[in-house]
Amino acid sequence: MTRHAPERRGLTTLKRATATGAAALAVAGLQPGSAHAAPVPIPAPVVGGTPAAQGEFPFMVHLSMGCGGALYRNDVVLTAAHCVGRSGRNTSVTVTAGAADLRSTAAIKVKSTKVKRAPGYHHKGRDWALIKLARPLDLPTLNIAEDGRYNKGTFTVVGWGATQEGSRSRPGKLLKAKVPFVGDGQCKRHYGNRLVPAEEMCAGYPRGGVDTCSGDSGGPMFRKDDSGQWIEVGITSWGDGCARAGVPGVYTEVSAFAKNIAWAADTL
């Protein structure tokens, strides 16, 4: 399930877009991708999370198709490929920023103008995409990891997705949680050849209980760098269910695509 966005996470789903978001994509002719051999991704919220304070993660944005994302540049959002359709002109996405509570009057809304999906994306690995905004936002951006040195330790995940597997309820308030790194060998004990180690990484607790879920797809997984600043190391992508024991969440390994992402942003 894709966890994250039009659902890649949930039940072998892309991790996590909402059903409503997936429907909206279909209407717009944008077909969300599937996590594994080809399940359609399903978004989900942070399971086992706690409310984030207003302004705590100012780079975090919500996408109208039911995914999350982070400001890579003031006018460019980094999200998951399975959350968007093909590359090109696209004015159908509404980006909500500047508010932990989506119903807040402080929320800023801006439309998309273009989408750039990872070249060669075929619903397995390479799960990243960029969305160009109609105007730049006066908000902090989130740097991305350019090498694998930060692919370890404990990460922060955030999202507006479901708070438990199978739930269609969305709190509307940004939730946050901590999840530890899980090595490729341990992660493959569950996912086997469905995992693409060179392009994906895993995180989660052996006992489960904390995880991203449907509607969280595309959101950042991040930690502090050596200077104490937040840095994005993963993009919520997919997983089997949400917060199950022995089943880590799967995230796009950002450092594997850092140069590609920078080039794509320059060409938007």
Q: For residue 85, give the amino acid letter.
A: G
Compute the mean pLDDT over every residue in the chain, rounded to the nearest whole number: 87
221, 203 in Cβ contact below 8 A? Answer: yes
Taking only the tens place, the pLDDT of each residue in 224-240 is 999 999 999 999 999 99
pLDDT tens digits, 151-197: 999 999 999 998 888 777 666 899 999 999 999 999 999 999 999 99
Catalytic residue positions? 82, 127, 217
Alpha-carbon gap, residue 182 to 208, rounded angstroms:
12
Say if CB 3 and CB 34 are below 8 A apart.
no
Pairing of strands 154-159, 220-224: antiparallel
Q: How far apart are CA 171 and CA 248, in angstroms?
A: 23
Neighbours of 176 (CB within 10 A): 18
Exposure string of 240-262, with b = 16+ CB inside 10 Å and e = fewer, is: bbbbbeebbbbbbbbbbbbeebe
Q: Which domains does the chain have, with CATH numbers?
A: 1-268 (2.40.10.10)
- 């993660």: which residue's tokens? 57
Q: What is the model's pLDDT at position 39?
A: 36
pLDDT, one tens digit per residue, over 74-91 is 999 999 999 999 999 999
C-beta separation of 15 from 217 below 8 A: yes
Measured distance CA(123)–CA(169) in Å, rounded: 26
Q: What are phi and psi of 55, to 5 degrees?
A: 85, 0
Predicted TM-score (pTM) of the model is 0.86
What pLDDT is attached to residue 94? 98
Query: What angle (nearest 5°) sits at the alpha carbon of residue 39, between those of residues 192 and 86?
Result: 115
Residues, the chain:
268
Q: Which residue has the higher pLDDT, 163 or 20?
A: 163
Residue 2 clears pLDDT 70, i.e. is over it: no
Q: Which residues contact 211 (CB under 8 A, 6 or more apart)?
A: 3, 46, 47, 48, 177, 179, 204, 239, 242, 243, 244, 249
Identify the burial level of 197 via C-beta atoms within 10 angstroms of its C-beta, where 0-12 means exposed, 13-18 middle and 19 or more buried: middle
